[in-house]
Structure 1
Amino acid sequence: MANQLHYPAPQGPAGAPFADVNLKLAVLSALDEQGTIALGEPPKLAEHLLGRSFDVATEGYRLVPEVLDYLARYPLDSQKLATLETLNLDGGSTIYHHIWHFWHGEDDTFEVASLGGIENCANLRELGVAGILSPVDIGLLTPLRQLSDLYIGTGVSNIAALRDLPALASVRILNDDIYAEVMTLGHPTRQLMDELKRAGITVWVHWVSHYDQPPAFE
C-alpha cells in the first residue's frame, strides 16, 4: 500500500557505490523488481518527493529531476547488493517510469557509460546486456567470482578476460565482429572460444546482420 512505503533519506554522492548513475538506476530497478527495495508504483515516488499529486497524463512526458536526483543518491548497502543475482541492461527497466513515465527510449538519457563499481554486486550470477551499454568491458567483470551466465548483444572489449571468470558456465554473444572473428580459424577470439568449449563452457556466438544467414558458432 502507498501509505506503507518507506523512502529512505538520500545520502552520499550521486551514483555511489557505482561510477555511473545510470548503472545504479539499473541495479535499483532489479532490486525493486525482486522486492529487496520498494519504490511503489509510479507516480508514488514523484508524489512523495514533490509533496503533491502528479498527473501522469500531463507531466509524464518529461524527466522529473527530483526523482532522478533522489534515486542517484538512494542509499545502498552491501547487504542489499548481496541479494542481487540477475541484472539486465536493456533499456526496459521499470525504474525509468518513475523518472520519465513516457520515456520513448530513443535517446541516450539512461545510457550506461561505465561498469565501474559492478564488483559491489558480489553475488551476481547472470548478466545480460542487450542495450544501453557498449562496449562491455569484460575486464571489469572479473571481480564477479559468481558470474556464471553472460549474454552480450552489444559491443565487447577485453574479450580475453572471459578466461578470468572462474564460475563462467555460459557465454552468448550477438555481434557481427565477434562472429567474424570466431569463424576465422587461427584468430585469437576463435582460439579463446574453443578453449572455453573444451573447459565445458557453453558458447554461442551469432551475427546481427549477415547476407548468407549462416548458423551460430557453438
Structure 2
Amino acid sequence: MTAFRDFNFKLLVVDRLMYGDRTLAPAFDMAEHMRARGVEDLSAYIEDNGLEHTVLDEARAHFEELEIPAELLATVEELLFDGGNRVFLECAPIWDGEDDLFDVRALDDLDLVPNLKLFTGGRALERSLPGALEILASRDITARH
C-alpha cells in the first residue's frame, strides 16, 4: 500500500490522475456521493452544519482510503497547486480559496512520484512551505509560479 504522509500533497496527485489525466477512476463526485446519502442540497447541508472551511469527512475518508497503484504514480510528470483544483472543490464544495486549508505542509511524498518534472504553483507552495523551491530544484523538478 502506498502511504502518503501529507494529505494535501496526495490531493494534488489525485487531481492530476483523477480529474486531469482521468486514469484514476471512478472520479469522485461529492454532490453525487451525498445525494446517495439523502442530501439533495449540498450547499445548504454545508452551511447548516458550519462546514464552509473544512474538508468534508466523507471526502477525507474517501481520499485517505484511496489506493493509487505505483504504476499510476509513475505516470505523474506534472502537478498543479491552485485554489481551483477540482479535487479541492470535491473536498470542500463551497470553499473560497482564501485560507490554508489545502496547503502542502511537507514534500516527503515526492519519492512516490518519481517522474515528476514540473510543479506549477511554486510561489504558493513556497509561502506554505519555505524552502520548497530548493527541494524541488534539488530533484530536478521545475517550479513554475
Q: How does 1:66-145 map to 2 (within 5 A)?
A: 66-128=58-120, 129-132=122-125, 133-135=128-130, 136=132, 138-139=134-135, 142=138, 144=139
TM-score normalized with structure 2 length: 0.76
Q: How does 1:175-194 map to 2 (within 5 A)?
A: none
Higher relative contact order (CA 8 A, sep 6+): 2
User: How far off is 1:74 after superposition?
Assistant: 1.1
Give the match for residue 44 of structure 1.
32
Q: Report if the CA contact (8 A) 1:45-1:98 is conserved.
A: no
CA RMSD of aligned residues (A): 2.4
Could you say what secondary structure the match of 2:108 adopts? coil
User: How far off is 1:150 after superposition?
Assistant: 2.3
Q: Among all aligned residue pairs of Structure 1 and Structure 2, give the percentage whose two residues are the same amino acid.
A: 23
TM-score normalized with structure 1 length: 0.53
Matched, 1:65 2:57: yes
Cα-to-partner distance string for 1:182-211 (whole Å, 9 max, x where unaligned): xxxxxxxxxxxxxxxxxxxxxxxxxxxxxx
Give the match for residue 29 of structure 1.
15
Change in 2 beyond 3 A, CA 1:26/1:110? same
Rg comparison, structure with higher value = 1
| One-letter code aligned to 2:129 | S
How far, CA to CA, are the matches of 2:34 and 2:76 in structure 1? 25
Cα-to-partner distance string for 1:13-68 (whole Å, 9 max, x where unaligned): xxx532211111111111112111132444124445xx334423312442421211
Q: Report if the CA contact (8 A) 1:45-1:67 is conserved.
A: no
Give the match for residue 20 of structure 1.
6
Give the match for residue 179 of structure 1.
none
Could you say what secondary structure the match of 2:79 adopts? strand
The structure carrying a bigger helix percent of its residues is 2
